[in-house]
């Protein structure tokens, strides 16, 4: 199983449940993170859709974020946008909370668009979206 060898594992709660059903079914988010940290994972991100997501680090830290409020036009594309945004931040050595925020913003931008690949925003567009949302709703709009 590739997940056992991964240093970063990111998925929805449903995806974790499917992956874990043969290993140890019925885990909570915290228990899932602890189990994957026991293999090679340094970061485990568990997404809960409109309820937000949480990143758990091997050193015991926990970071949570809510999605940005947008009018969703479709139910697909957000997960891929989230993952690409989160990994973009990670590869640029950002703080975990900033990676979560960037991923959440990109996911929100993707589900409000009419299509997927054509709607994939540039990093500059994601930064502008975050700035606009914070001006409208306040600085801590997405951060828990």
Q: What is the mean pLDDT of residues 106-117?
A: 81
Residues 142 and 103 in one domain: yes
For residue 1, pLDDT beyond 80? no
Residue 139's domain comprises 66-144
Q: How many CB atoms lie within 10 A of CB 9?
A: 24
Angle, nearest 10°, between helix axes 96-112 and 123-137? Answer: 90
pLDDT tens-place string over residues 44-62: 999 998 899 999 999 999 9
First to last CA, the chain: 33
pLDDT tens-place string over residues 17-50: 999 998 899 999 999 999 999 999 999 999 998 8
Residues 16 and 80 in one domain: no
The two structure tokens encoding residue 132: 């606009």
Whole-structure pTM value = 0.91
For residue 116, pLDDT beyond 70? no
- Of 105, 111, 61, the closest CA to residue 86 belongs to 105
Residues 86 and 138 in one domain: yes
Strand order in the sheet with 62-65: 8-12, 43-47, 53-57, 62-65
Residues 33 and 46 in one domain: yes
Total domains in the chain come to 2
Residues 75 and 58 in one domain: no
Residues 14 and 24 in one domain: yes
Residues 57 and 72 in one domain: no
């Amino acid at each position: 199983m590739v997940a056992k060898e991964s240093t970063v594992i990111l998925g929805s709660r449903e995806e974790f449940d499917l992956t874990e059903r043969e290993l140890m079914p019925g885990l909570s988010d915290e228990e899932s993170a602890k189990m994957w940290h026991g293999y090679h994972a340094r970061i485990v991100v568990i997404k809960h859709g409109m309820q937000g997501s949480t990143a758990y680090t091997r050193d015991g830290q926990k970071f949570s974020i809510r999605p940005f409020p947008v009018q969703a036009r479709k139910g697909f594309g957000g997960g891929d946008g989230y993952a690409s945004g989160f990994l973009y931040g990670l590869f640029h050595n950002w703080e975990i909370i900033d990676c979560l925020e960037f991923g959440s913003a990109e996911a929100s931008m993707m589900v409000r668009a009419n299509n997927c690949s054509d709607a994939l925003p540039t990093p500059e567009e994601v930064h502008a979206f975050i700035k606009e949302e914070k001006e409208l709703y306040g600085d801590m709009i997405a951060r828990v």
